[in-house]
Structure 1
Amino acid sequence: MTDPIVVVGIGADGWDGLSASARRAIEGADVVMGSGRQLALIPESPALRVDWPSPLVPALPGLFEQHHDRRVCVLASGDPMFHGIGVTLVDLLGAERVRVISHPSSATLACARLGWAAHETPVVSLVNRPVDTLLPALGDHTRLLVLSRDEHTPAAAAELLTKHGFGLSRLTVLGELGGPDESRLDGTASAWSHEPGARLNVVAIDCRADSGTLRLTRMPGLPDVVFTGDGQMTKHEIRALTLCALAPAAGELLWDVGGGSGTVAIEWMRTHPLCRAVTFERSAARADQIESNASALGVPSLPVFGDAPAAFEDVPPELSTPDAIFVGGGVTQDGLLEECWSRLRLGGRMVANAVTAESEALLLQWFSKCGGQLRKFQVYRGEPLGGFTAWRPQLPVAQWSVTKQSKGDAA
Structure 2
Amino acid sequence: MILLADALRSPVVSDTAATSATDTAATSATAPGSGDVTGSGSPGPVSSADSSFADSIPSAVRVTVVGIGADGWAGLAPTAREVVRGAAVLFGADRQLALVPERIDGQPVGGRRVSWPSPLLPALPRLLAGHAGTGAQAGQGELCVLASGDPMFFGIGTTLVRLLGAHRVRVLPHPSSLSLACARLGWAVDDVDVVSAVGRPLAQVQAALAPRRRLLVLSSDRATPVEFATLLVGRGYGESLLTVLDRLGGPDEAYQSAPASAWVEAGARAWVRAPAAVEHPGGAASAVPPGSAVSQGSVVPQVPLREPADLNVVAVEPVPTPSAPHRSRTPGLPDDAFEHDGQITRREIRAVTLARLGPVPGELLWDVGSGSGSIAIEWMRTHGTCRAIAIEPRAERADRIRRNATALGVPALRIVPGRAPEALAGLPAPDAVFIGGGLTTPGLLDACWAALGGRGRLVANAVTLESEALLVSWHARLGGDLVRLSVSRAAPIGGFTGWRPARPVTQWTVWPAAHRSVDPSKM
Fold in common (TM above 0.5):
yes
- Hey, what's the Cα distance between the residues in 2 that align with 1:346 and 1:179? 54
- Hey, what's the Cα distance between the residues in 2 that align with 1:196 and 1:310? 51
Structure 2 counterparts to residues 3-402 of structure 1, below 5 A: 3-44=61-102, 45-69=109-133, 70=135, 71=140, 72-192=143-263, 193=266, 194-305=305-416, 306-315=418-427, 320-402=428-510
Q: Structure 1 residue 210: deviation in Å?
A: 1.1
Amino acid at match of 1:379: V
Which structure is higher in RCO with an 8 Å CA cutoff and minimum separation 6?
2
Preserved CA contact (<8 Å) 2:84 2:110? no
Amino acid at match of 1:252: E
- Hey, what's the Cα distance between the residues in 2 that align with 1:123 and 1:214? 22
Amino acid at match of 1:227: F
SS at 1:197's partner residue?
Answer: coil
TM-score, scaled relative to structure 1: 0.96
Amino acid at match of 1:32: L
- Runs of 4+ in structure 1 deviating by more than 6 angstroms, as ranges, are none
- Hey, what's the Cα distance between the residues in 2 that align with 1:43 and 1:307? 60
- Hey, what's the Cα distance between the residues in 1 that align with 2:69 and 2:347? 47
Preserved CA contact (<8 Å) 2:365 2:389? yes
SS at 2:349's partner residue?
Answer: helix
With over 3 angstroms needed to count, the CA separation of the structure-2 counterparts of 1:408 and 1:12, relative to structure 1, is: same
Q: Structure 1 residue 198: deviation in Å?
A: 1.4
SS at 2:308's partner residue?
Answer: coil
With over 3 angstroms needed to count, the CA separation of the structure-2 counterparts of 1:46 and 1:242, relative to structure 1, is: closer
The Cα RMSD (Å) is 1.3
Identity of aligned residues (%): 55
- Hey, what's the Cα distance between the residues in 2 that align with 1:64 and 1:46? 17
- Hey, what's the Cα distance between the residues in 2 that align with 1:122 and 1:79? 17
TM-score, scaled relative to structure 2: 0.76
SS at 1:245's partner residue?
Answer: helix
SS at 2:351's partner residue?
Answer: helix
Q: Structure 1 residue 3: deviation in Å?
A: 4.9
Preserved CA contact (<8 Å) 1:36 1:52? no
Q: State the number of aligned residues.
A: 406
Q: Structure 1 residue 156: deviation in Å?
A: 0.6
2:33 corresponding residue in structure 1: none
Q: Structure 1 residue 368: deviation in Å?
A: 1.1
Q: Structure 1 residue 94: deviation in Å?
A: 1.1
SS at 2:132's partner residue?
Answer: coil
- Hey, what's the Cα distance between the residues in 1 that align with 2:328 and 2:317? 16
Query: Which stretch shifts more, 62-71 or 244-253?
Result: 62-71
Q: Structure 1 residue 38: deviation in Å?
A: 1.3
Cα deviations by residue, 1:137-193 (Å, 9 ceiling, x for unpaired): 111111111111111111110000101111121111111111101010101111212
- Hey, what's the Cα distance between the residues in 2 that align with 1:392 and 1:314? 44
With over 3 angstroms needed to count, the CA separation of the structure-2 counterparts of 1:345 and 1:173, relative to structure 1, is: farther
Preserved CA contact (<8 Å) 2:486 2:503? yes
Q: Structure 1 residue 73: deviation in Å?
A: 2.0
Preserved CA contact (<8 Å) 1:130 1:300? yes
- Hey, what's the Cα distance between the residues in 2 that align with 1:362 and 1:384? 36
Q: Structure 1 residue 407: deviation in Å?
A: 3.9
Q: Structure 1 residue 34: deviation in Å?
A: 2.3
Amino acid at match of 1:347: R
SS at 1:350's partner residue?
Answer: strand
Preserved CA contact (<8 Å) 1:323 1:345? no
Q: Structure 1 residue 314: deviation in Å?
A: 4.6
- Hey, what's the Cα distance between the residues in 2 that align with 1:259 and 1:301? 15
- Hey, what's the Cα distance between the residues in 2 that align with 1:34 and 1:367? 59
Preserved CA contact (<8 Å) 1:165 1:213? yes
